[in-house]
């Protein structure tokens, strides 16, 4: 107490300066928080708008393919007995329309399950090589349409070279890869290359996809995982889909504990790398009934 | 007796509720899990969220506390639970160093949103073990409402990349 009365002018000034600085800092923090709040507000209202846009979008994206499927099937039915050759290109068109519908529906349902918190994860040993090849095969007709060439490479730890298995959820990984490949194909320039590299390094599965397409602008790159956002709005008519693919991809990677990194340059293409850590301490399906043994041994646990 | 219950492993960003009795297991670092239990119907559910608020990024999923809590309560009320019979137990929110995360105090903020929302909903928190520097394994018996917990070293915690 007695000390306080003996404060010199300098000390007093110093204390004052400190306090003024403190309140300035608080103010700055508050301003920062306000700014963040504004951004969030804007995002939420944008998200609302995009959601209603999504609903009107569903009409187009569903109704148009169905009417062309029906039209094309009718055309096939009308083909005379000697003209069956003509059916092939029509059937290809039907396949392509149905394929797109199937893909979009998969994403919509996946997004709905993620938002409900009801994504079912089933960890199994997955043959990564055959999974990638099956996805590539499914997109074969699209890569042919655009005359793209796809190069597939593997980099793995030596002892894994012949045994490319990784414990993960096959269905989820398939959805992730389909979305990345579908985007890669959609935004590639015709006659260009897509390079895919996959491997297991340090207990992490990584897969990279590089395309040589139009690339992504830095402004859009920031919002790329937002739902219903499709980047360039002027080209909606060519840019089919709902803008759900990458948000589903990101959400699935979150659940699997993985990461996604996107680097892109407008005009020269995009490189996307995903990595998924080997699941630790997560029960493989089939051992699920041993819950007690898996988590708790005698003694050192607490009950609440 | 508990050995006979089916068990469910709850992944981050998911939630689980069933009218049937279950053992729900999960592992927490900076994430928070809220176990809700209806003391009359003797049923329960759990969520497991990674971040406090949905900020318009990505999908509006139970990865975010505000959505995870809302959805779990909603599901339980739909199943016939009444709010005054619900009790909550909160776990997690440790200060686990997370290589992929650049968020400050994420564990603390996760705990905070959980406590605030439960208070606003009028749901009593009857037990909790939060904060600290270690991760946690928990197992929720939705038949009895009991939660077993064990502290674990952070190396065992699945690395969740929050961003």
Substitution target in B3, B35, B58 with the highest count of A β-carbons within 10 Å is B58
Digit-coded pLDDT (tens) for A191-208: 999 999 998 888 889 999
Please state the pTM of the whole predicted model. 0.77
**Catalytic amino acids of B?**
31
- Residue A102 in any domain: the answer is no
- Residue A198 in any domain: the answer is yes
- Residue A262 in any domain: the answer is yes
Between B114 and A165, residue with greater pLDDT:
B114
pLDDT at A287: 35
- Residue A150 in any domain: the answer is yes
- Our count of domains for chain A comes to 1
The proportion of chain A whose per-residue pLDDT surpasses 70, expressed as a percent, equals 84
pLDDT at B163: 34
Q: Which residue positions in chain B have pLDDT lower than 50?
A: 1-2, 99-102, 156, 158-163
- Residue A212 in any domain: the answer is yes
pLDDT at A51: 75
pLDDT at B39: 94
Digit-coded pLDDT (tens) for A257-292: 899 999 988 888 999 999 999 887 554 443 333 333
Select from A44, A115, A280 the Cβ nearest to the Cβ of B59.
A115
The domain of A249 spans: 124-277
Q: Which long-range contacts (CB under 8 A, 24 or more apart) does A139-144 make?
A: A139/A178, A139/A181, A139/A182, A139/A185, A141/A92, A141/A95, A141/A96, A141/A99, A142/A96, A142/A182, A142/A185, A143/A185, A143/A194
> Which CATH number covers residue A151?
3.30.565.10
CB contact set of A169 (below 8 Å; sequence gap of 6+)? A121, A122, A123, A124, A126, A256
A46–B11 C-beta distance less than 8 A: no
B161–A257 C-beta distance less than 8 A: yes
> What 3-state DSSP class applies to A108?
helix
Digit-coded pLDDT (tens) for A3-40: 556 778 888 999 999 999 999 988 988 888 888 888 88
Round to whole Å and give the CA distance between A243 and A117: 20
Q: pLDDT-derived band of residue A299, with 50, 70 and 90 as boundaries?
A: low
pLDDT at A249: 94
A167 contact B CB<8A: no
A250 contact B CB<8A: yes
B61–A251 C-beta distance less than 8 A: yes
Q: Which domains does chain B have, with CATH numbers?
A: 2-153 (3.30.1330.200)
């Amino acid at each position: 107490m007695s000390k306080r009365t003996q404060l010199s002018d300098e000390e007093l000034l110093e204390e004052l300066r400190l306090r003024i600085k403190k309140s300035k800092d608080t103010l700055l923090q508050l301003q920062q928080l306000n700014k963040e709040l504004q951004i969030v507000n804007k995002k939420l209202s944008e998200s609302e708008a995009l959601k209603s846009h999504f609903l009107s979008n569903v009409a187009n994206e569903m109704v148009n393919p169905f009417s062309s499927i029906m039209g094309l099937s009718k055309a096939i039915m009308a083909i005379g007995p000697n003209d069956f050759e003509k059916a092939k290109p029509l059937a290809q068109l039907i396949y392509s329309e149905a394929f797109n519908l199937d893909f979009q529906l998969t994403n919509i349902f996946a997004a709905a399950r993620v938002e409900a918190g009801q994504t079912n994860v089933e960890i199994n040993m997955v043959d990564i090589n055959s999974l990638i090849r099956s996805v590539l095969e499914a997109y074969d007709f699209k890569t042919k349409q655009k005359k793209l060439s796809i190069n597939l490479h593997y980099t793995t730890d030596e002892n894994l070279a012949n045994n490319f298995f990784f414990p993960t959820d096959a269905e989820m990984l398939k959805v992730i890869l389909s979305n990345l490949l579908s985007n890669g194909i959609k935004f590639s320039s015709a006659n260009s290359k897509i390079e895919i590299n996959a491997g297991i390094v340090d207990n992490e599965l990584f897969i990279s996809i590089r395309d040589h397409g139009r690339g992504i602008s830095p402004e859009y790159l920031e919002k790329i995982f937002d739902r219903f956002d499709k980047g360039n709005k002027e080209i909606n008519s060519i840019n089919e889909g709902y803008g759900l693919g990458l948000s589903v991809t990101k959400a699935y990677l979150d659940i699997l504990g993985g990461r996604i990194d996107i680097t892109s340059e407008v005009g020269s293409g995009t490189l996307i790398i995903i990595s998924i850590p080997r699941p630790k301490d997560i029960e493989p399906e089939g051992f699920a009934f041993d819950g007690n043994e898996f988590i708790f041994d005698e003694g050192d646990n607490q009950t609440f | 007796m508990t050995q006979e219950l089916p068990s469910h492993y709850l992944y981050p960003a998911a939630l689980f509720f069933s009218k049937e009795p279950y053992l729900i297991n999960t592992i927490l670092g900076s994430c928070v899990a809220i176990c809700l239990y209806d003391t009359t119907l003797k049923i329960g559910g759990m969520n497991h969220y990674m971040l406090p608020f949905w900020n318009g990024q990505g999908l509006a999923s139970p990865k975010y506390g505000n959505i995870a809590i809302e959805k779990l309560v909603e599901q339980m009320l739909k199943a016939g639970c009444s709010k005054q019979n619900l009790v909550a137990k909160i776990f997690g929110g440790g200060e686990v160093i997370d290589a992929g995360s650049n968020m400050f105090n994420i564990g603390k903020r996760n705990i905070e949103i959980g406590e605030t929302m439960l208070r606003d909903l009028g749901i009593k928190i009857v037990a909790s073990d939060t904060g600290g520097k270690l991760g946690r394994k928990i197992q929720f018996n939705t038949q009895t409402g009991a939660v077993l917990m064990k502290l674990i070293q952070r190396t065992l915690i699945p690395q969740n990349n929050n961003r």
